[in-house]
Structure 1
Amino acid sequence: MEHIELFFKSIFIDNMVFSVFLGMCSYLAVSKKVTTAVGLGAAVIFVLAVTVPLNWLLDQYILQPGALKWLGAEYAEYDLSFLSFIMFIATIATMVQLVEIIVEKFSPSLYNSLGIFLPLIAVNCAILGGSLFMQSREIPTLGLALTYGVGSGIGWFLAIVAIAAIREKIRYSNVPPALRGLGITFIITGLMAIGFMSFGGMLTGGGDEEEEKPATEASIKKEEVKPATKEIVAENTNTNQE
């Protein structure tokens, strides 16, 4: 259940584009055609699915304070957390280079259409943001880290494919000259962000509120019983004295 909840939250509620506005450069530049957007979105899914679990392992066994205790008791006090950015970016750059080689080998047309934006995945803030959010939220297991990475990648994929499909159709619309281009794109992005925010009510049910209500009612009843108990004790004491 925890995996499913984290998966859908990372796609809709904590969407990299519509929630924290990461990866906007590639989102705006490569979203003119659906085919190109699909290729880049698939590459982002792969990179996030690989780098987030790898960076989780680095964080757990190397970077956190005391993470090196597996090497021996003398290393238990070491704190390498200041190397987080360097290690995370090195992992991301390695995976992006692997993706670039694979895309160039099996799909030269997609490689040419993506152009400079494929190697720029290495500095895409959405990719680094996935690893940093994983670290800041203290995701406890490798499985949850993988779930979060895949979900975040799918969320970014949906965002760029959706805006690419809209931008292809909007070419045939009568858009005011002042809003053509990035102007109408930003407006549509804002409206899409509002739509994705609506999923928050579906994925954060009222289970917690229902659990809190009995506890609140019980505490109220205890407060009502305590004064009554004190009055009874006082009356018994007065009777005994008489």
Structure 2
Amino acid sequence: WMGIKGVDLSFLALLSCIGMIAALVQILEMILDKFFPALYHALGVFLPLITVNCAILGGSLFMIERDYNFGESVTYGVGSGLGWALAITVMAGVREKLKYSDIPAGLQGLGITFITAGLMSLGFMAFSGIQL
């Protein structure tokens, strides 16, 4: 990878494709909102669903890449769905609490959201067993 021998980052291909599609959907959404508001409102909720479909496709491709059988695939799919639901519910609860907190002006909005997501990811990493 990039001329470095012994470094195999092929496992990042799936993640980078999902990230690229999500970023392009967000850029498309902003362009449509600014230059084509009628089309933006006509598409409504369906534009962000492209990103969700991409995440579902990513999960499916991950199962194919790992060569899971049917039972393992169902277990992985249910576990992924429950994990996502748990993470998004916790994030919504934390954001609700932060709404009534005194947050410095520079961290309001996206800044505190990224900090919260980072701290939550550290907490969820404990489920997989952190090894330092």
Q: TM-score range by the shorter chain?
A: 0.5 to 0.7
TM-score normalized with structure 2 length = 0.60
- Matched with 1:201 is 129
- Post-superposition offset of 1:120: 3.7
In angstroms, what is the RMSD of aligned CA positions?
2.7
SS in 2 for 1:165: helix
> Matched residues in 2 for 1:189 and 1:171: separation?
15
What residue ranges of structure 2 are gaps of 5+ in the alignment? 1-14, 23-43
Aligned AA for 2:115? I
> Matched residues in 1 for 2:51 and 2:60: separation?
13
**Count of residue pairs the alignment pairs up:** 92
Partner deviation per Cα, 1:144-174 (whole Å, 9 max, x = no partner): 1111111111111111111111111111111
Q: For residues 32-111 of structure 1, what are the structure 2 equivalents within 5 Å? A: none
- Matched with 1:237 is none
- Post-superposition offset of 1:181: 0.6
Percent of aligned pairs with the same amino acid: 54
> Matched residues in 2 for 1:169 and 1:181: separation?
13
Q: Does 1:129 align with 2:58?
A: yes
> Matched residues in 2 for 1:121 and 1:157: separation?
16
Q: Does 1:184 align with 2:83?
A: no
Query: Does structure 2 conserve the Cα–Cα contact (< 8 Å) formed by 1:130 and 1:149?
Result: yes
Q: Does 1:154 align with 2:82?
A: yes
> Matched residues in 1 for 2:100 and 2:127: separation?
30
> Matched residues in 2 for 1:188 and 1:129: separation?
24
Aligned AA for 1:173? S
> Matched residues in 1 for 2:105 and 2:48: separation?
31
Greater RCO structure (CA 8 Å; 6+ sep): 1
- Post-superposition offset of 1:116: 0.5
Partner deviation per Cα, 1:45-102 (whole Å, 9 max, x = no partner): xxxxxxxxxxxxxxxxxxxxxxxxxxxxxxxxxxxxxxxxxxxxxxxxxxxxxxxxxx
Query: Does structure 2 conserve the Cα–Cα contact (< 8 Å) formed by 1:121 and 1:127?
Result: no
- Matched with 2:45 is 116
- Matched with 2:26 is none
TM-score normalized with structure 1 length = 0.34
Rg: which structure is higher?
1
Aligned AA for 1:196? F
> Matched residues in 2 for 1:173 and 1:123: separation?
31
What residue ranges of structure 1 are gaps of 5+ in the alignment? 1-19, 26-114, 205-242
